[in-house]
């Protein structure tokens, strides 16, 4: 179902493009990030996070690995949605706006993929 009027659909412009889905996912990822962020901050605060052996042992625990993957997935998704809104609010030129949004998404999804891959490599490695 679309909440958009036929005219706005034809124009392909206006806040109702994919606004509801975007808004909803920003909220869903925000809710997921509440427990995940608290868990993450208090976990890494409890041990020397800059010690290699401690860190590897921590990530090798299956529950930690899964929680980290969920944390990174929610975080990078949430960040990509959020940064898009900020760009849309401040960049007036349509071309610059489009390029900025695409670049911000590429960058964030690349960092997200790197982070998730790193966790899996450690968790699954010998």
Q: Answer for the pair 69, 114: CB distance below 8 angstroms, yes or no.
A: no
Q: Binding other proteins by CB under 8 A: which of 46, 62, 93, 94?
A: 46
Angle at 65 between CA 107 and CA 67, to 5 degrees: 80
- Judged by CB under 8 A, does residue 124 bind other proteins? no
- Judged by CB under 8 A, does residue 74 bind other proteins? no
Taken as a whole, the chain contains a residue count of: 126
Q: How far is CA 124 from CA 56, 78, 103, in A?
A: 11, 26, 31
Residues in touch with ligand HEM (CB under 6 A) = 26, 30, 33-34, 37, 75, 78-79, 82-83, 85-86
Q: Which helix (H) or strand (E) holds 41?
A: helix 19-46
Distance linking the first and last C-alpha atoms of the chain: 49
Q: Binding other proteins by CB under 8 A: which of 14, 21, 98, 106?
A: 14
Smallest distance, Å, CB 26 to ligand HEM? 5
Would you tell me which residues interact with other proteins (CB under 8 A)?
A: 11, 13-14, 27, 30-31, 33-34, 37-38, 41-42, 45-47, 49-52, 55-56, 59, 68, 72, 75-76, 79, 82-83, 86, 89, 108, 111-112, 114-115, 117-119, 121-122
């Amino acid at each position: 179902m679309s909440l958009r009027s036929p005219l706005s659909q034809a124009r392909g412009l206006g806040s109702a493009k994919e606004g509801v889905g975007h808004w909803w996912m920003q909220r869903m990822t925000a809710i997921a990030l509440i427990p995940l962020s608290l868990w993450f901050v208090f976990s890494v605060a409890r041990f020397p996070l800059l010690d290699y052996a401690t860190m590897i042992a921590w990530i090798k625990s299956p529950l930690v690995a899964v929680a980290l993957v969920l944390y990174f997935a929610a975080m990078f998704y949430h960040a990509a949605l959020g940064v898009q809104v900020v760009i849309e609010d401040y960049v007036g030129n349509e071309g610059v706006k489009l390029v900025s949004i695409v670049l911000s998404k590429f960058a964030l999804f690349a960092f997200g993929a790197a982070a998730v891959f790193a966790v899996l490599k450690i968790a699954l490695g010998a």
